Amino acid sequence: MKKPGWKRILTRTAVIAGVLILAAALFIIVFIQRTLPDTEGELKLEALSSEVTVLRDEEGVPHIEAESVEDLYMAQGYVQAQDRLLQMELSRRQASGELSELIGSSTVEQDKFFRALGLRRAAEASLKEYSEEGKAALEAFASGVNAYIDKADAENRLPPAFTLLQAKPEKWTPVDSLTIGKFMAHDLGGHWERQAFQYYAMNNFSEEKAYEVMAHYPENKPAVLDDVNLDIAGDFTEAVMPNPFNGSNNWVVNGERTESGKPLLADDPHLGIASPSIWYQMKLSAPSHNVSGVIFAGVPGIILGHNDDVAWGVTNVGPDVQQLYVEKRNPENREQFLFEGKWEDAVVHQEPIKVSGGETIEYEVVETRNGPIINEFAEGAGEGEALSMRWTAHDPSKELEAILNINQASNWEEFEKGLEDFHTPAQNFVFASSNGTIAYKANGKIPVYDNPDDAGLPLRGWKEEDQWKGFIPFDELPTVVNPDRGWIATANNKITTEEYPYHITNNWAQPYRYERIAEMLEEDDAVTVEDVKKMQMDVKNLQAEEFVPFFVEEMNENNLTAEEEEALELLKEWNYEDNKEAPQPLLFHHWLNEIEDRLYASIPDDIDSLFHGKAQTTDEIFRMEREGKESAWMEEAGGSGEVITQAFRDSFNKLQEDYGKNPEEWAWGDYHQVEFTHPLSNIAFLDKFYNRKEPLPVSGSRVTVRAAGYNGNGKVDHGASWRFILDTDEMDKGYHIVGPGQSERFNSKWYHNQYSDWVDGDYHGTLLDEDEGEKLILSPE
C-alpha cells in the first residue's frame, strides 16, 4: 500500500483548513447575527405597569406608545440600549474619565482631563436639584437600560464589541444620563482655549501682533498678571478640545412667507460625523406626550423636534461661559490658595483611574472656590501658579426638566417657561407653532462681567473684583416673537447689537452661513418644504465670493506658468459653489490653508490648537489688507502679494502632484469625502465590518449652509448629522436625515442605510401616528 504523497497531504490539509476557516466564519456570522436586538414579537420587561408597543418604521425609527410616563421612559431606555448600548457605554465613560478601565493605558491622559474637568461631579450635584418627576423619569430610563443589559448578558447577546473588549457594561444610573448631558455642554459651551491662547499671545508676541489675534483686545490687562509665569504651551497638550466649528443652522418662517400659510421650521445641528450618529431619532407617546425628534443616546425625552402643536430647533450661542483664573498656591501647603489676602483650603477629590491590563493610577483633583485646577493633569504642570476654571456647567442644572416640559408645550408661553431650567449649553432656540407664532430665544446661563474685556484673558483668582457678577436675567436674554420681516434665522452668528446691555462673546462664528440663509429667505416669499431641503443642501461659499477677487488682485501674475494661469482663470470663472465635481473649491480651500500656514508659522503647534476662532481672525486680516491697512502678521510673512502668490503656487504644485497636471480635471470630491468611521474601526481588521462602504465625495465646506468640515486629509468629520424640516400645516409629519443610520450594529439593516441619503439630501418622512413597521410588544411580568 502506497503512502500518500506530499501533494495529497498538502491538499487534504488545505481542505481541512478551509473547512475549519469556513466553519469559524459561519460561527462568527451566526453569533454576531444572533446578537441583533429583537424588533418583533413579545418580550417580558419587569417593572412595567402595562403593555408598551414599540413600532420601528422603515428607517428604524422606534415609535413607542405607553399608558404612563414611567413606562414610556423605561421603554425608551430599553430601546436605546438595543440600538446604541456600546455608544452609551463609551459616552458615559469618556465624560466620566473612565475609558481606561475599558480601553487601557492609551486613554489615561484623556481620563485625567475629564476627571479634572469634573463633568460627573457636576452631574451628581445636579441630580440633587431635580424634582421628583424628573428623578422618576431618569430612574425609569435607567431601569429600561439595565433590563436590556441583564437580558442580553443572560442570553449571551451583548453587542460583539463587548466580547472583543472582554468587558461587560455596568449598570446604568441617572447620573450617567446627566453626565452625558454635561459632556454636550463641554462640546458646545466654552471659550477657555481662546483665553489661554490670548494669554500666550500677550506674553509672546508684539503688542501689534497680539492685538490682531485677539477676539477683542482687553485694554490695560497685561499689567494685571505681570507677576505670573504660566507655561501655557506645556499645560494643555493632552486636553480634549471641542471642534472649533461646532455650530448649527436653524430658521423659522411665518405663514405670510410660506406656501402653506403656516409657519415652517428647519434645523440642522453641526457636530462630529461618525458611526453611529450622535443623534438618535425616536417618537414617544403617552397620555401626556406625543413628541417626535432626536435625543442623545443615553438620555430620556426628545431634545429637538416637534409635538402636535409646536416645533423647535437650536444652534449654539457660543457665549463666554468659562473663565480661567490664575491661582496663587501657598508654597507651604499646596492645597491652599490665596483669596483677598487669606489662604483658603481647596477641596481635594480622590479620583483613582482603573486601567485595563494595568495598575490603578492614584489621581487627585484640586478644586478652588473658582473651580477645578485644569492644568495639573498635564505632566509637569501645576508646580507654581495654576489655572482653575469657573464654568456654568459646574453649577447644578436641570436640563432634563426643561426637556420634559418643552416636550409637552402647546404654545410659546409654555415653551419659554420650560426653557427656564435649560442652563447649559446656551442655545439659540427657534420655535414655530401651528397657531401661527414664530419665536426665538438665546437661552442659557450667561455670566455678567463688569468689564466685557475681562472675558478675553485669565483673571486673578485671588481677587473678589474679578469674580462674575451673576448671570443675565432670564427675561433679559435676547428674545424675538413674530418679527415684522417674517423670519428668524441663526447660524452661530452675532445675535446682539451694540445697544444690548450685556456681554455675550466677542468670538462669534464667521457670518457666511447666516448671510446665505438670509439671502435665500429674502428671495422666497412662498417657502415650501422642498425649498428648505434645497436651502439646507446649499453650497454657495460667500467667503470665497468675498476674498477670491482680492486674492486675484494681489497676485503677482508676471512669472506664472501657463498651467498656473489656467488655474487662476478657473477661479475667476467660478460661481463660488463648493460643488464636489468642481475643481475650484479644491484649489481655493488648499490656497486658503496655505496662506494661513504662512501667516501663523511662528505659532507652535500646541498653542495653535488653542487658537479657536482662527478663521475669523484670518478673515479680519484679509479685510485689513484689502482696505489698505497693514497687518503685522501679513507683513512679517512677506506682505500680502508675496504671501498670496507663493501660497497659490505651492498649493497648485501640490495639487498637481496629487490630482494630475490639468486643473480642469480636478474635483473637490476627489479630496473632500465622508466615510462615517466607527470609533472601534482602527482596531485590527474591524474596519472591514464597521466601515463597510467606500468613502463618498461630498459637496459643501465649513462655511457653506451645507456644513461639511474636514480634517487635513480631506475626510469630512463634522457637519449636520441630523437634518430636520417641519411645516406646521402638517404637524403629523417631519422630514429627517440621520446620517448614517439609526443603529450602531454593523450587521443591522439600519446601520448605514442613510449613508448616501446624507450625501444626496434624501429626506425621509416620520409620522406622529405611524401604523406600519416591525412591532415589538413589551409586557409586564
- How many angstroms separate the CA atoms of 780 and 48, rounded? 5
In a domain? residue 572 = yes
Is residue 320 a known part of a binding site? yes
Total number of domains constituting the chain: 2
Neighbouring C-beta atoms of residue 741, cutoff 10 Å = 25
Strand order in the sheet with 438-443: 41-44, 774-779, 52-56, 62-65, 279-286, 289-296, 304-306, 310-316, 427-433, 438-443, 479-481
* Of the residues 609, 635, 666, the one at which a domain ends: 666
CA distance 40 to 149: 18
What DSSP letter does each residue of 599-657 carry, written as one string?
HTTTS-HHHHTT-TTHHHHHHHHHHHHHTTPPPHHHHHHT-HHHHHHHHHHHHHHHHHH
Q: Report, as residue numbers or ranges, the catalytic residues.
A: 248
pTM of the model: 0.93
User: Which residue range forms the structural domain that includes residue 602?
Assistant: 542-576+583-666
The residue among 307, 319, 300 whose CA lies nearest residue 443 is: 319
H/E stretch holding 530 reads helix 529-536
Q: Which residue has the cell 465670493?
A: 545
- Has residue 21 been placed in a domain? yes
pLDDT of residue 376: 80
Q: Does the residue 29 lie in any domain?
A: yes
Residue pair 393/424 in contact by the 8 Å Cβ criterion: yes
Is residue 646 situated within a structural domain?
yes
How large is the greatest C-alpha to C-alpha distance in the chain, in angstroms? 105
User: Please, what is the Cα angle at 625 between 639 and 668, to 5 degrees?
Assistant: 85
Q: Which pLDDT belongs to residue 755?
A: 96
Phi, psi for residue 604 in degrees, rounded to 5: -60, 155
The whole-angstrom separation of Cα 293 and Cα 305 is 4
Place of cell 504662512: 598
CA end-to-end distance (rounded Å), the chain: 69
Supply the pLDDT for residue 225: 42
E strand intervals along 644-695: 673-674
- Boundary-marking domain end, from 637, 666, 695: 666
Cβ-contact 45, 144 below 8 angstroms: yes
Choose the final residue of a domain: 647, 666, 685: 666
Q: How far apart are CA 631 and CA 640, in angstroms?
A: 9
The whole-number mean pLDDT for each consecutive block of 10 residues of the chain, a chain of 781 residues, reads: 50 48 46 84 94 98 98 98 97 96 93 96 98 97 98 94 89 98 85 88 92 66 43 61 76 98 97 94 96 98 98 96 94 94 97 95 96 78 75 96 96 98 96 98 95 87 95 97 97 92 92 96 96 98 98 86 93 97 98 97 91 92 95 96 96 96 96 93 78 90 97 94 97 97 95 96 97 96 74
**CA angle 45–767–696, rounded 5-degree value:** 95
Residues 6+ apart with CB under 8 A from 104: 355, 356, 357, 358
Write out the H or E segment, with its range, that includes residue 200. helix 192-204
Looking at the domain assignment, is residue 132 inside a domain? no
Q: Rounded distance, CA 346 to CA 351, Å?
A: 15
**Residue 19: predicted pLDDT:** 44
In a domain, 600, yes or no: yes
DSSP letters spanning 546-611: HHHHHHHHH---TT--HHHHHHHHHHHH---B--TT-SHHHHHHHHHHHHHHHHTTTS-HHHHTT-
Report CA dihedral (272, 273, 278, 284) to the nearest 10 degrees. Answer: 130
Sequence-ordered list of residues with C-beta below 8 angstroms from that of 24, at least 6 positions apart, any chain:
none
Residue 364 placed within a domain: no
Q: Is residue 776 part of a domain?
A: no
Distance of CA 533 to the CA centre of its chain: 22
Q: What is the pLDDT of residue 389?
A: 95
